[in-house]
Amino acid sequence: MKAEPLKILVAEDNLKLRKAMVSGLEESGKIKSVFDCDSGEEAIRYCLEGDTDVLLLDVRLAGKLNGIETIISIRKEFPRKPVVIYSIQDSDEYFRTFRSSGILSHYAYVRKSNYLLPQMVVPLIRLAYDGKSFIDPEIESRVTEVREKDENSPLAVLEPNERSVAEMLAKGFSNEQIAQHFGFKDKRTISRINGQIYSAWGLNETNSDEKVARTRAALIVLSNRFLEWEEDEKIFYRNSSGERIPWMPNIDDRS
């Protein structure tokens, strides 16, 4: 076990909180801050040149990379680099990124609101450095929720190229525009892919109903649910118990 203070890099976009965290960690006598910044890009640059034992990162950072993406990039060069991730964010985006990141050990992932004080973070830093892992139960529950949502997503039954076309279709792009985007010379290629999408989702494939099928496909993408239409145009989806639930458009459906 390392006796001297652990060298830590802190990435936090809130300057006041970052300075308070650095100060509090150093007061413990167990941590020495060697670098602090507000963006993942700066953290990566320092790690490539400097020496750190552990990283402490907020999930939301300044710059283009979030904290988890920053860890992924750093671990390409320094596998299993110990890290403590904390966040107050509750966005599916972050939990989805974490789930697909492959981070399995040498880490702790906690809610900032539960572990905001430096003296509460110090044991997590030591835990990560010792090669162990810990995830806040609240975060673990949300990661599981996002995994189940993704596995039950309509997009999960499509091939990769079909998913890409479906997402562009939902954004209102025409077949010509989609074909041009993907470099297809013949827009009929997109028509064929659309037909495969409609078939996978149980939508009408006939030419006379293509506009209806296209609209319904867009709603399925935007709601991220397997929607079902009745003859009176009422829309339903099935919950995890298989019960049919009336559906109405909601801008927060994909959150």
The side-by-side arrangement of strands in the sheet containing 6-11 is 31-37, 6-11, 54-58, 83-87, 107-111, 133-135
Is the pTM value of this prediction over 0.85? no
The domain defined by 154-246 folds into Arc Repressor Mutant, subunit A (1.10.10)
Q: What is the pLDDT of residue 252?
A: 47
| Rounded mean pLDDT, 195-201 | 90
Contact status, residue 108 vs residue 133, Cβ threshold 8 Å: yes
CA distance 177 to 36: 45
Domain ranges of the chain: 6-150, 154-246
- For the segment 112-125, the average pLDDT, to the nearest whole number, is 91
Say whether pLDDT at 199 is over 70: yes
CATH of domain 6-150: 3.40.50.2300
Q: How do residues 47-97 score in pLDDT, each as one tens digit?
A: 999 999 999 999 999 999 999 999 999 999 999 999 999 999 888 889 989
